[in-house]
Amino acid sequence: HRIHDAAASVSGVAYVGQDLDAAQLGGNITWTPPLDMTRVLAYDVYLASSSLGLQRSQIGGDVPAGANLLALPPETPAEGHSHFVVYTKSSLVEQTTPVGLRFSDEIAQASGVGLVDEDLDGGELGGEVRWLPPADDSE
């Protein structure tokens, strides 16, 4: 009898964060599929504390093969995680060693918020609200 040990890992894991709140994530996680997709049925994507998948927490359910994107819902708590890890999954088992990406949690906050109240009625506000935009608003 012959035993064939197939290996199939994703590559090029990327994340474009759209949630600008501190300690919250949201946006698209993408990856390049393995060259040999013969036995790959799905992908499992997790938040983890390392690129090895330690202290992992699955994001959603299985992502079917052919769909190389997971939309991470806005306001997903980072909860101390620092990586996204992607595993391939066959009909037998999930891959042992994932491919990981360390993410950075981008935040953007306005500062110097102020209002000069020009409304003379009690309990009512009126006037121009002013603020300073975030230092980096490129996201």
pLDDT for 48-72, tens place per residue? 999 999 999 999 999 999 999 999 9
pLDDT for 6-55, tens place per residue? 789 999 999 998 888 888 999 999 999 999 999 999 999 999 999 999 99
pLDDT for 62-105, tens place per residue? 999 999 999 999 999 999 999 999 999 999 999 999 999 999 87
- Asked whether residue 15 falls in the same domain as residue 77, the answer is yes
- Asked whether residue 137 falls in the same domain as residue 86, the answer is no
- Asked whether residue 122 falls in the same domain as residue 71, the answer is no
Is residue 4 one of the residues assigned to a domain? no
- Asked whether residue 87 falls in the same domain as residue 47, the answer is yes
Evaluate the CA torsion angle 47, 53, 58, 59 in order and state its sign. Answer: positive
Residue 4: is its pLDDT beyond 80?
Answer: no
- Asked whether residue 50 falls in the same domain as residue 91, the answer is yes
- Asked whether residue 130 falls in the same domain as residue 96, the answer is no
**Total of domains in the chain:** 2
Residue 108: is its pLDDT beyond 80?
Answer: no
- Asked whether residue 20 falls in the same domain as residue 79, the answer is yes
Is residue 1 one of the residues assigned to a domain? no
- Asked whether residue 98 falls in the same domain as residue 53, the answer is yes
Is residue 130 one of the residues assigned to a domain? yes
Q: Which amino acid is at 89?
A: K
- Asked whether residue 92 falls in the same domain as residue 127, the answer is no
The residues near 9 (Cβ < 8 Å, ≥ 6 apart) are 34, 88, 95, 97, 99
- Asked whether residue 84 falls in the same domain as residue 113, the answer is no
Q: Where in the sequence is the domain holding 132, given as residue range(s)? A: 109-139
Is residue 137 one of the residues assigned to a domain? yes
pLDDT confidence of residue 25: 95
Confidence of residue 138 (pLDDT cuts 50, 70, 90): low
- Asked whether residue 128 falls in the same domain as residue 71, the answer is no
Residue 1: is its pLDDT beyond 90?
Answer: no
Q: What is the C-alpha to C-alpha distance for residues 110 and 101, in angstroms, rounded to an integer? A: 29
Domain of 54, CATH number, reads 2.60.40.10
pLDDT confidence of residue 136: 66
pLDDT confidence of residue 83: 98
Residue 137: is its pLDDT beyond 60?
Answer: no
